[in-house]
Amino acid sequence: MDFNHCLAISKIIHKRPARIALIRCFILVLVFINASLAFAQITPENPSADTTLIQLNVLPPDTIATDTIPPDSNVYRSPIQTEVVLDARDSIDNDVVNKKVYLYGDAVVTYGTISLNAAYIEYDFATFTVTASGVQDSLGVWSGLPKFKDGANEFDGFTMQYNFKSKKAFVRQVFTEVIEGTLTGKDVKMVQGGDVIYVRKGEYCPCEDPNAKTRIKVGKLKLIKNDKIVTGPGYLALHGVPTPLVFPFGYFPNTDKKQAGIIIPGYGNGQEQGYFLSNLGFYLPINEYVDNKILADIYSRGSWALRDQVTYKRNYKYTGNLDAQYLVRKLGDKELLNYSEDRSFFVTWRHIQDIKAKPNSNFSADLSVGSSATFRNNLNANQDDFLTNTFRSNITYQKRFYDSPWSFNVNAGHDQNSNSAGDQGAVYNFTIPEITINRTRTFPLAGLFNNGTKQRFYEKIGLTYGSAFQNRLTANESEISLNNLDNLMKDFRNGARHTVGLSTSLKAGPVTINPSFSYNERWYYSTLSRTFDPDLQSYVQDTIIGFDRNNNWNAGVSATTKVYGMYSFRTGRIKAIRHTLTPSVGYSVSPNFDARVYGFYGADGSLGSYSPYDGAVYSGPPSGASSLITFSLVNNLEAKMLSRRDTANKFVKVPIIENIQANGTYNLAADSLKLSTISLSGRTKLTKYANINARAVFDPYSYVAVQNSSGTDASIARVDRYLYNSTGKLASFENGTVAVNASGLSNAMFKRQPGASTATTEGMDENGKPLEGPDAKGGGKFSIPWNATFGYALGVRKVRESIMLAEGFGIIDTLAITQSIQVTGGLEFFKKVKVNINSGYDFETKELTPTTLFFIVDLNCWEFNARVVPFGTRKSFNLSLFIKSSMLRDLKLEMNRNLGGDQNFFF
């Protein structure tokens, strides 16, 4: 060993200046010579353990000069292949005789990814063992307790020993964090570099708070890093008190990877269907992208349900879930007349493609299809599904071409309405598929016959094109089955449509003129015809298979402009009010393309008509010619006001009325009733959090009572006589709606804004004096955080009834009013208790709408949830108490009870 090697070793063992390292190098040389003499007396076949100090190489292998020493297999190689760095704040003492180094005060030993910190550390060169412990003061308080860190694993304890050669550790009273909790133990032994840990008298706390009083106590425990935790007998203790929850052994996953396992069910009483176990199942992770849950519900009276839930996700590509369920519902007793049994199914599928995956194409799915009574029969269905009457599905593929105006879409979907269910079940409408090809607006005449920079009027003519193909089926629920597939295929209706549009925009001073032209053509692959059946003495309808087509076109022009009015104020916050009028008038014409067939097609042989395209996908062309004058007037009113808060912008614009619009048409080609009803609508913001929408319809014509042939009753008819001519009124109110919606309501609305003159400093009152009592801490009074969403709807419509008078019949008018309120909101108490409500009130029925209450209580390690439906057919409650740790989520108490329906059944 030369002088340079001594200097290097000294610097590693103790980080001090070179002057001190030179002195200690001489001491190491003497030790090296004495040890070499001892080593020379031992044969390589029988080395002595006390000679390991000689071969202690704490230097990395590349720092030792080996080019002058020939390789020798009998030369002892140190097991320490990584630099060991020792450091301490107070002092470091070297005991050459006992081959130890002592470190005092914030001592640190670092060996690769392993580090050990403590108030006192002892390092034994002979056994490659490091021992660490804390220190106690005169009062017996411990400080500087050892902290062991190996990569992401950290351990705290009172005393620690670690052997660099065997990579085994022994810890007294260990404290460490594991997956979703903390683990403590009286005696701990680590082997295999800390990958395997043995614990005696261990306690597991499944909470983020290591001081929580929930403990799972076990006598023996084995922890395998990134794999599992296996225990012997144990029990659950709360606040140090043992509970009856005892288990002979335990197995817990200790990895971020998904683990297969049994899903513990909930239980309850369904009254009509008996006691039940819900959501009993098995969780099966298929791979890192897909996992699967198989769940079942079992009822004591024979009902059962089976569900399969699949979720999948690939980052930056797609995400989705598939849920399929099958339900068998049995009510009553087979020995009695009240027994019934029905089967239902439902499938939902959600698929979302990441927009970054394929920017020029997209595939998405939103599928909700199944039996109409599925959620009405399922006790575990949520309130939203139970109240939903209409379900729709849509599966879409969209393709856009680069540097091209063309796009291509394929769509498949359906809709069903539970309220339409009759004896044959609900009505289903399927579209399988719908294919569309579209061309965005282009200007085909741009640059034609024009080499200048100024654009000519014909260059502004835009062209659009669209074509679509649909294949539709309408069927009752009872008709949908695999056995009836042949008949369903015959009932499909299909057709195609092509649309071409031309439009442009011209300026004439302040007026904008927009001419337009559109052409529509429809293709059919079957049509209808009527023939007279002499046996039935009536006309019957036949389907003719073959290609047919029809078309129609219309042309029009519209003109619009804006008119502004301003009124200024000399004093006050309001500086000006601006009124904006946007009038618009247009004219469109369309010839008569009536495709109806006229003749003696009535039921009794009288004159009648029918359309060959009745029931077709795109129906037929509109009947009758039209020559329409359209008009509309849009009003906007806003105020210019001084800003109270924004110092950068002196004035702010505040909308008073965002939009009030009147619309109507006048058909010059009609023989009567040429003027349409007048529609008036408007919207505006009431506050920052609330807005109002209103709509009303007015009729300019009169209504009369027309007596029937028997003279005993009369019907109401709209006649070609302006109401103004008979009553002096311009129009009569027919119907209207008003909706007020408020969102974002919370206690934050009433907090003082920063910078306001009335704002107080934390802990101080408005006069700058310290607060006293309960308001002193935090500088504010006790408050309960809350949030709410509010909706109010009012509907009014005129109802006309005929009444018998002394001379004929008259009309009496009444108003039918419907109104309701819907409220959702929540309260939070002490950041531990949350109460949410979803309810409303129907003023017409004078009843509360379906109401659900949710209670969530945070119990540190535990969480208590309650869902209560206080009344109605789904009157029920659900209570659950469970550990928040997902690893122990199935450690829970749950109770379900359905309080609605018929309770007079045997169990």
Q: How far is 265 from 402, CA to CA, in rounded Å?
A: 53
**656-661 long-range CB contacts below 8 Å, 24 or more apart?**
656/577, 656/684, 657/682, 657/684, 658/682, 658/683, 658/684, 658/685, 659/634, 659/635, 659/683, 659/684, 660/634, 660/635, 660/636, 661/632, 661/633, 661/634, 661/635
Q: How far apart are the first and last CA of the chain?
A: 91
pLDDT of residue 479: 81
CB-side neighbour CA atoms (13 Å) of 156: 12
Q: What is the mean pLDDT of residues 104-127?
A: 85
- How do residues 352-396 score in pLDDT, each as one tens digit? 999 888 888 999 999 888 877 666 656 566 666 665 667 888 999
Instruction: Please give the mean pLDDT across all residues of the chain.
Output: 79
Percent of the chain with pLDDT over 90: 25
Candidates 320, 316, 328; CA nearest to 354 is 316
At residue 496, the pLDDT reads 94
Output the furthest CA–CA distance in the chain (Å, rounded): 142
Mean pLDDT computed over 114-124: 87
Residue 6, φ and ψ in degrees, nearest 5: -60, -45
- Alpha-carbon distances, residue 355 vs 304, 316, 318, 439 (angstroms): 41, 8, 9, 22
> Of 430, 296, 307, whose CA–CA distance to 369 is shortest?
430
Phi, psi at 12, each rounded to 5°: -80, -45
pLDDT of residue 146: 84
Residue type (1 letter), 180: E
Q: By the 8 A CB rule, do 787 and 774 touch?
A: no
Residue whose C-alpha is closest to residue 396's, from 356, 357, 433: 433
| DSSP summary character for residue 704 | E
Predicted confidence (pLDDT) per residue in 131-188, tens digit: 888 887 777 777 888 887 877 667 777 778 888 777 766 666 555 556 567 777 777 7
Indicate whether 10 pLDDT > 90.
no
**Residue 120: CA atoms inside 13 Å, Cβ hemisphere, count?**
8
- 241: Cβ contacts below 8 Å, ≥ 6 apart: none
Tokens 């008979």, located at residue: 726
Tokens in use for 519?
A: 């052409």
Asked whether the beta carbons of 525 and 544 are under 8 A apart, the reply is: no
Q: What's the CA gap between 745 and 69, in Å, rounded? A: 82
Q: Check pLDDT > 80 for residue 661.
A: yes
Average pLDDT over residues 622-651: 84
Question: 38-47, 419-428, 884-893 — which one is most confidently predicted on average?
Answer: 884-893
Beta strands in 206-274 (DSSP E): 214-224, 227-231, 234-238, 241-247, 250-254, 261-263, 266-269
- Look at residue 23 in the predicted model and tell me its pLDDT: 42
Q: Are 620 and 595 a contacting pair, CB within 8 Å?
A: yes
In the predicted model, is pLDDT for residue 83 greater than 90?
Answer: no
- Which residues, at least 6 apart from 642, have a Cβ–Cβ distance to it below 8 Å? 573, 575, 650, 651, 652
- The answer to whether residue 75 scores a pLDDT higher than 50 is no
Is-contact 213 240, C-beta < 8 A?
yes
Q: Measured on CA atoms in the order 76, 77, 83, 89, is the torsion positive or negative?
A: negative
Least confident among 230-244, 769-783, 822-836: 769-783
28: helix, strand or coil: helix
CB 134 within 8 A of CB 117: no
- Could you give the CA distance from residue 775 to residue 122 in angstroms, rounded to a whole number? 53
Query: Cβ distance 574 to 639 under 8 Å?
Result: yes
What Rg, from alpha-carbon coordinates, does the chain have? Answer: 42
pLDDT of residue 44 exceeding 50: no
Determine the distance from the C-alpha atom of residue 301 to the mean position of all C-alpha atoms in its chain, rounded to a whole number.
Answer: 36
DSSP state letters, 368-417: EEE-TTHHHH-TTS-HHHHH--EEEEEEEEEEE-TT-SEEEEEEEEEEEE
- Asked whether residue 76 carries a pLDDT value surpassing 50, the answer given is no
Residues 6+ apart with CB under 8 A from 391: 368, 369, 370, 415, 416, 418
Residue 325, by phi and psi: left (phi above 0), alpha (psi -120 to 50) or beta? beta
Cis peptide bond prior to 433, omega within 30° of 0: yes
Helix (H, G, I), strand (E, B) or coil at 23: helix
The predicted structure's pLDDT at residue 337: 77
Beta carbons of 173 and 158 less than 8 angstroms apart: yes
Return all residues near 583 (Cβ < 8 A) that are at least 6 apart.
560, 561, 563, 631, 632, 633, 634
User: Is the model's pLDDT at 785 over the cut of 80?
Assistant: yes
Of these ranges, 6-20, 477-491, 721-735, the one predicted with the greatest mean pLDDT is 721-735
Closest CA to 799 of 787, 781, 785, 817: 817
More confident residue, 661 or 905: 661
pLDDT band for 70, please (50, 70, 90 cuts): very low
Pair of tokens at residue 144: 């500087």
pLDDT range class, residue 8, cuts 50, 70, 90: very low
Q: What is the pLDDT of residue 88?
A: 85
Amino acid 515: pLDDT: 95
pLDDT tier, 534 (very low <50, low <70, confident <90, very high otherwise): confident
- The stretch 32-38 carries a mean pLDDT of 36
pLDDT (tens digit, 9 = 90+) per residue, 341-355? Answer: 888 888 999 999 998
Q: Give residue 887's region: left, alpha or beta (phi > 0; psi -120 to 50).
A: alpha
Q: Note the pTM of the prediction, 2 decimals.
A: 0.65
Q: What pLDDT does residue 152 have? A: 65
- Model confidence at 52, in pLDDT bands (50, 70, 90)? very low
What token pair was written down for 853? 């209450």
Q: Which tops the pLDDT comparison, 580 or 482?
A: 580
Max mean pLDDT range (79-83, 137-141, 654-658): 654-658
Spatial separation of the C-alpha atoms in residues 106 and 91, rounded to whole Å: 10
d(CA 306, CA 324): 8
